[in-house]
Amino acid sequence: MEPVYNFGAGPAKIPESVLKRAQVELLNYGNTGMSVMELSHRSKTFGEILARTKSNLRNLLDIPDNYEILFMQGGATTQFSAIFYNLVAAKQAAIGEDKDIAVDYFVTGSWSNKACQEAERLSQDMPHVRVNRVADAKKLTGKYGQVPAQDTWQLSDPEQTAYVYYCDNETVHGVEFANVPEVDPRVPLVADMSSNFLSRPVDVKKFGVIYGGAQKNLGPAGVTLVIVRKDLVVDLKKGPLRPLMLDYQTMLDNDSMYNTPPTFAIYMVGLTLEWLLEHGGLTGIQVVNARKSGKLYDAIDRLSLFKSPVQPDSRSKMNVVFNLTTPELEKEFLKGGEERNMVQLKGHRSVGGVRASIYNAMPEEHIDKLIEYMEEFQNQHAA
């Protein structure tokens, strides 16, 4: 079979060696005579899988002991609600339910906008909770294409702020924060890292919560990883009424197994973490990712038919979005890509264009093939 070049944004490419190992173990995991998909989540065997996955994640990110790791369901989108409920509860537990509270949001693309909209919706019946847009890139510049400059930020009073949220990498618009935003250290910083999770080293101590869906850089869809500082996990009786499945304390008390967890997805995440450790950890993969994205952006800037809508200092190393000079050329380029087994290059339905998602598992040779095709297309169509 001819190789397929999968540039999908998620579910996305999984390392081939991970898939092959899962294939070998599929029918008989650890001499149990059963597939991982058939193991009880209460079994000793699955307990070992869960513990090893946690340990490897803690090792890769150097997660301090005062942070917990949760495996939740519902994707990163469900965390829009969970973050609001749990961190408002933590702030109310600290200062009282009758005190005014702010929740701050950086809005740099469609996902952070949706997260902010969910907070705005949930706060409607909470007169003491105010949702503040620290900086909205679209309102500032007319489009999502850069991280707003720090002198445009309007952060709330730290004494009142329950958390500051940002989306580290906007999958749709190809916008990524080059650095962690500087906020008052008294305020928990929350990062949605769904599409650049484990693509580079992160200082976990700077955050109150880090979360991400697995289906981009970690494995198949179905599980969401949440890293939360222990002091932000409060009793269910404190703060706003919230569903048990969204409550961090409930998840922590039950080792992420209040109900049946997505066992196979967790197993696959575990295999991917082992793959990362074998390939130099986060420092090693950061070098590879910088090289892969760098050569692709160089091609976009060099070839006259292609252009990036994202400011250079905000360009994502995971989701490279670009346009051609006319819609007709874009359509032809995408068609030619499919003929060359380059799949899922079409941009998100809300913005169009072209998007090459080049996560950790994307081999560098596949980037080279895409660049070769871009150069060929340029030579055929440039005036």
Q: What is the pLDDT of residues 276-303, one digit of tens each?
A: 999 999 999 999 999 999 999 999 999 9
The answer, yes or no, to whether residue 383 has pLDDT greater than 80, is no
pLDDT for the residue 36? 97
26 and 96 inside one domain: yes
Q: Is residue 2 part of a domain?
A: no
pLDDT for the residue 2? 85
Percent of the chain residues past pLDDT 90, beyond the cut: 99
Q: What is the pLDDT of residues 180-211, one digit of tens each?
A: 999 999 999 999 999 999 999 999 999 999 99
Q: How many domains does the chain have?
A: 2
Is the separation of the CB atoms in 272 and 18 below 8 Å?
Answer: yes
In the block, residue with structure tokens 């200062």: 95
Q: For the chain, what is the HEC assignment?
A: CCCCEECCCCCCCCCHHHHHHHHHHCCCHHHCCCCHHHCCCCCHHHHHHHHHHHHHHHHHHCCCCCEEEEEECCHHHHHHHHHHHHHHHHHHHHHCCCCCEEEEEEECCHHHHHHHHHHHHHHHHCCCEEEEEEEEHHHHHCCCCCCCCHHHCCCCCCCCEEEEEEECEECCCCEECCCCCCCCCCCCEEEECCCCCCCCCCCHHHCCEEEEECCCCCCCCCCEEEEEEHHHCCCCCCCCCCCHHHCHHHHHHCCCCCCCCCHHHHHHHHHHHHHHHHCCHHHHHHHHHHHHHHHHHHHHHHCCCEECCCCHHHECCCEEEEEECCHHHHHHHHHHHHHCCEECCECCCCCCCEEEECCCCCCHHHHHHHHHHHHHHHHHHCC
Which residues form the catalytic set?
111, 192, 216
147 and 74 inside one domain: yes
**CATH number, residue 351:** 3.90.1150.10
**Domain enclosing residue 22, as ranges:** 17-278
Q: What is the pLDDT of residues 208-238, one digit of tens each?
A: 999 999 999 999 999 999 999 999 999 999 9
160 and 286 inside one domain: no
Orientation of helix 44-61 relative to helix 281-302, angle to 10°: 60
CA distance 148 to 278: 37
The answer, yes or no, to whether residue 382 has pLDDT greater than 90, is no
Percent of the chain residues past pLDDT 70, beyond the cut: 100
197 and 311 inside one domain: no
pLDDT for the residue 325? 97
271 and 318 inside one domain: no
237 and 354 inside one domain: no
CA distance 339 to 111: 31
Q: What is the pLDDT of residues 1-31, one digit of tens each?
A: 789 999 999 999 999 999 999 999 999 999 9
Q: Is residue 101 part of a domain?
A: yes
175 and 291 inside one domain: no
pLDDT for the residue 150? 97
Q: What is the pLDDT of residues 317-360, one digit of tens each?
A: 999 999 999 999 999 999 999 999 999 999 999 999 999 999 99
Of 252, 278, 304, which residue is a domain's last? 278
Question: What value does the mean pLDDT of the chain take?
Answer: 97
Of 278, 310, 343, which residue is a domain's last? 278
Under the banding of pLDDT at 50, 70 and 90, the label for residue 266 is very high
Full-model pTM: 0.98
Q: Is residue 120 part of a domain?
A: yes
Is the separation of the CB atoms in 110 and 80 below 8 Å?
Answer: no
Q: What is the pLDDT of residues 118-128, one digit of tens each?
A: 999 999 999 99
Of 278, 306, 340, which residue is a domain's last? 278
State whether the Cα torsion 141-147-151-153 is positive or negative.
positive
Give me the mean pLDDT over the 63-83 stretch: 98
